[in-house]
Amino acid sequence: MRLTALTFTTLTNFIFFTFLLLHHGHSAGPPFACDSSNPSTRSYPFCKTDLPITKRVRDLVSRLTLDEKISQLVNTAPSISRLGIPAYEWWSEALHGVANVGPGILFNGTITAATSFPQVILIAASFDVRLWYGIGQAIGTEARAVYNAGQATGMTFWAPNINIFRDPRWGRGQETPGEDPLVTGKYSVAYVRGVQGDSFEGGKLRGHLQASACCKHFTAYDLDNWKGINRFVFDARVTQQDLADTYQPPFQSCVEQGRASGIMCAYNRVNGVPSCADYNLLSKIARGQWDFHGYITSDCDAVSIIYDKQGYAKSPEDAVVDVLKAGMDVNCGSYLKNHTQKAVEQKKLSVSQIDRALHNLFAVRMRLGLFDGDPIKRPFGNIGPDKVCSQDHQALALEAARSGIVLLKNSARLLPLPKSKSISLAVIGPNANSPKTLLGNYAGLPCKSITPLQALQAYVKSTIFHQGCNAVNCTLATIKEAVDIAKKVDYVVLVMGLDQTQEREEHDRIDLVLPGKQQELISRVARAAKKPVILVVLSGGPVDISSAKYDNKIGGILWAGYPGQAGGVALAEIIFGDHNPGGRLPITWYPEDFVKVPMTDMRMRSEPSSGYPGRTYRFYKGRKVFEFGYGLSYSTHSYEFASVTQNKLHFSLSSSLDKVKNLDSPRYRLVSELGEELCKGKSFSVTVGVRNHGEMGGKHSVLLFVRQEKPRNGNPTKNLVGFQSVNISGGERAQAEFLLNPCEHFSSANEDGFMVLEEGSHVLLVGDVEYPIHVVF
């Protein structure tokens, strides 16, 4: 055959046509404004990348009609085609991996899945800030790749969820980094820096955002639906003291250190005021005190409820006026689209309030590079679809699951199990072979998924599986069959716990025990088995497993959160000793009788006179099933304070004595009065030595607490002031260094919500090793 001119042309046409198909049909390319091939748009000042963003935004907003302006105040913002501005979707999700649960991300093109990291509560259990940052980076990179592939209509992600996991029953506690304000704050900073494209240390953003992160839900939101009381009507009564040293610090870190470009205001009211209508919260605190430069979105339909459900506003227009005047910029939902026009006509709202919001909104879109012409030619433009589900990211998902899983019990060193071809294994339980349970909520589609059963089968050929229960609710259990199987094998692994039918958004638990007949199944199987059994608990919130803890027929207990796409493999590696567990609980595990405390009681501090036990390891005085920070290893570790550069801190100012205040016995000073310079000058470093006494190496998290020798009533029992993950081989020693600032780390809030430093002995605490530091005025 000869290649004639004709066939050559046909071939060329064919190639060209195929290219068109690929380019426009299959994958449309990302939406962007200011196309340089369009002579009318490229001349607009708002398209000039060498102008400052504030100038560009001012130009853009000045060109919009009132109708166009109002159209942009909702999450699904339509295009303004006469200016070449494409539609924009503000709502996308990426809590623990890029997800298609918000409308801004579509997995229907080249990219059909994204790396699914463990649910956040398990990521937090690693106490490893570098790992958290790496996960943020991976998520931000995958997000940008999805956009570049033309499968995202927005780049604003509504994560992280940094509300304090205040009550163990909260259905969304799984989404958070746990109950400690410092851990939650540090998690938020690492995640936000990673996602937005900043460096680990921060301060390297230089204008462009890789993707936008959002600190949510501002503030004191941690009740979804408990005994008929839901988040839409709930009025959280919060003391100034608890706000100052529990509820607000994570948000302050997320904004000040993370430099997050988004905030979401919550559904609930705080002390009577809906968060989205709270000028003090949004404008004075976030924008004023914390220097927030970004956009503020409402939670979805959180504006309509201000009138419809809370009756706080007397008309829909009043609700619109309240939120825009408070400083909110965009409404998830359609309420602002429907009612803003009338509010302007009624002269309740000036157009300048709308312009204020639009400035914040378009500034973020510009910082994302969506008004710079073809983004392929811009920073982040070369991130291709191969970055999604890459080997590196999938390995990181495995590393995250390994690092988070917590060993809660290991009597007689039952674990790890022998890696022997000749053993037989039974895997029992409703969570053993459920890919969905692994993911938790706000999950995308995982790159791949291996269940605990499949991963265990890779170690032991002769593995028998029995589900044991009809479902996780275990209303029906096949106990006899399970017992018969358990009798026949060398080892039994029970994979039990919760899933999204038990704890989720809009569904808080009403008890803390394992659902249905799970407990009965566990103890009957344990009693029948040849050797003590292994119990794996999958859950976000804590479960009262006291009876398993004290049952000597249960030799090992592991908590694995919802461990993500690689969680099954991580579990099997730990069970068979290919990985040494080092995770620690990021939340107190309370006993079942904690449920006598109303979930609606927001007080952190205990009140012994009325029997109120307080909340979290910082204030709770009752019995615990497992403590915050608890977690075993296949090795044992010991600590020492290798060096502490101060043991007495004098805060003597020339004119100080009259300013030192007395309250009860200890003398104290307001941190704000001491001033940043003096506080910094009193900073000192603490070096903790850790020795691994076992044979197995691994990661180990050093948790440094401070407690007061004589804590005044209302002060925390202890506070976590630093944590660090170190890697230590068997028999080796490592060091962890901490820089402490007494004003920050030794202080607590007074009743008016001001941080105070008290005189007296403050004790550093690692494990059970202590080191006293004296504060003297």
Ligand X SMILES: *[C@@H]1O[C@H](CO)[C@@H](O)[C@H](O)[C@H]1NC(C)=O
Check binding of 106 to ligand X (CB under 6 A).
yes
Check binding of 335 to ligand X (CB under 6 A).
yes
- Contact region for ligand X (CB under 6 A) — 57-65, 101-109, 228-236, 548-556? 101-109
- Contact region for ligand X (CB under 6 A) — 369-377, 467-475, 648-656, 662-670? 467-475
Question: Smallest distance from the beta carbon of 108 to ligand X, in angstroms?
Answer: 4
Question: Smallest distance from the beta carbon of 407 to ligand X, in angstroms?
Answer: 17
Check binding of 699 to ligand X (CB under 6 A).
yes
Q: Which of 230, 729, 735, 741 binds ligand X (CB under 6 A)?
A: 729
The pattern of x and - marking residues 16 through 55 that bind ligand X according to CB under 6 A reads ----------x-----------------------------
Strand 295-298 relative to strand 262-265, pairing:
parallel
Nearer to ligand X, 690 or 743 (CB): 690
Question: Smallest distance from the beta carbon of 124 to ligand X, in angstroms?
Answer: 17
Question: Smallest distance from the beta carbon of 139 to ligand X, in angstroms?
Answer: 20
Question: Smallest distance from the beta carbon of 519 to ligand X, in angstroms?
Answer: 16
Q: How far apart are CA 212 and CA 192, in angstroms?
A: 8
Q: Which of 37, 108, 391, 422 binds ligand X (CB under 6 A)?
A: 108
Q: How far apart are CA 356 and CA 307, in angstroms?
A: 23
Strand 769-776 relative to strand 425-428, pairing:
unpaired
DSSP per-residue string spanning 587-613: S-B--GGGGGS-TT----S-BGGGTB-
Q: Which of 140, 333, 416, 564 binds ligand X (CB under 6 A)?
A: 333
301 is known as an active-site residue: no
Q: Is 295 helix (H, G, I), strand (E, B) or coil?
A: strand
CA angle 358, 359, 363 (to 5 degrees): 115
Q: Which of 473, 546, 683, 717 binds ligand X (CB under 6 A)?
A: 473
Check binding of 334 to ligand X (CB under 6 A).
yes
Check binding of 101 to ligand X (CB under 6 A).
no
Check binding of 218 to ligand X (CB under 6 A).
no
Cα 7 to Cα 14, 15, 16: the distances in Å are 10, 12, 14
Q: How far apart are CA 479 and CA 470, in angstroms?
A: 11
- Contact region for ligand X (CB under 6 A) — 102-110, 184-192, 358-366, 688-696? 102-110
Q: How far is CA 302 from the centre of its chain?
A: 21
The pattern of x and - marking residues 336 through 365 that bind ligand X according to CB under 6 A reads --x---------------------------
> With contacts defined by CB under 6 A, how many residues of the chain interact with ligand X?
15
Q: How far apart are CA 210 and CA 430, in angstroms?
A: 40
The interaxial angle of helices 479-488 and 518-528, nearest 10 deg, is: 30
Q: Which of 304, 454, 715, 748 binds ligand X (CB under 6 A)?
A: 304
Question: Smallest distance from the beta carbon of 101 to ligand X, in angstroms?
Answer: 15
Nearer to ligand X, 106 or 423 (CB): 106
Tokens encoding 158? 């509504």
Q: Which of 40, 475, 547, 647 binds ligand X (CB under 6 A)?
A: 475
Check binding of 727 to ligand X (CB under 6 A).
yes
End-to-end distance of the chain based on CA atoms, in angstroms?
Answer: 98
Helix segments in 316-449, DSSP class H: 316-326, 335-345, 351-367, 391-404, 435-439
- Contact region for ligand X (CB under 6 A) — 215-223, 330-338, 550-558, 657-665? 330-338
Nearer to ligand X, 208 or 507 (CB): 507
Say how many C-beta atoms besides its own lie within 10 A of residue 130's C-beta: 12
Check binding of 229 to ligand X (CB under 6 A).
no
Which residue carries 């369009």 as its tokens?
A: 38
Q: Which of 59, 679, 40, 726 is nearest to 363 (CA)?
A: 59
179 neighbors 165 (Cβ within 8 angstroms): yes
Question: Smallest distance from the beta carbon of 109 to ligand X, in angstroms?
Answer: 4
Check binding of 240 to ligand X (CB under 6 A).
no
Nearer to ligand X, 54 or 501 (CB): 501
- Contact region for ligand X (CB under 6 A) — 277-285, 418-426, 471-479, 764-772? 471-479
Question: Smallest distance from the beta carbon of 668 to ligand X, in angstroms?
Answer: 42
Question: Smallest distance from the beta carbon of 301 to ligand X, in angstroms?
Answer: 6
Q: How far apart are CA 444 and CA 451, in angstroms?
A: 17
Q: Which of 300, 414, 471, 653 binds ligand X (CB under 6 A)?
A: 471
Q: Which residues of 354-376 are buried (b: 16+ CB within 10 A; e: fewer)?
A: bebbbbbbbbbbbbbbbbbbebe
* Phi and psi torsions of 121, nearest 5°: -60, -30
Nearer to ligand X, 466 or 605 (CB): 466
- Percent composition of the chain: helix, strand, coil (DSSP 3-state, to 5): 35, 20, 45
Check binding of 79 to ligand X (CB under 6 A).
no
Nearer to ligand X, 200 or 641 (CB): 200
Q: How far apart are CA 116 and CA 476, in angstroms?
A: 31
Check binding of 130 to ligand X (CB under 6 A).
no
Tokens encoding 186? 């540090």
Nearer to ligand X, 526 or 690 (CB): 690
Question: Smallest distance from the beta carbon of 641 to ligand X, in angstroms?
Answer: 24
Convert 693-758 into a string of H (helix), E (strand) and C (coil): CCCCCEEEEEEEEEEECCCCCCCCCCEEEEEEEEEECCCCEEEEEEEECHHHHCCEECCCCCEEEE
559 neighbors 514 (Cβ within 8 angstroms): no
**Given 242, 299, 372, 499, which residue is catalytic?**
299
According to DSSP, residue 244 is labeled I
Question: Smallest distance from the beta carbon of 472 to ligand X, in angstroms?
Answer: 7
Q: Starting at the edge strand that comes first in sequence, how are the strands of the sheet with 425-428 ordered?
A: 406-410, 554-559, 533-538, 491-497, 425-428, 463-466
The residues that touch ligand X, with contacts defined as CB under 6 A, are: 26, 106, 108-109, 304, 333-335, 338, 471, 473, 475, 699, 727, 729
Which are the catalytic amino acids?
A: 299
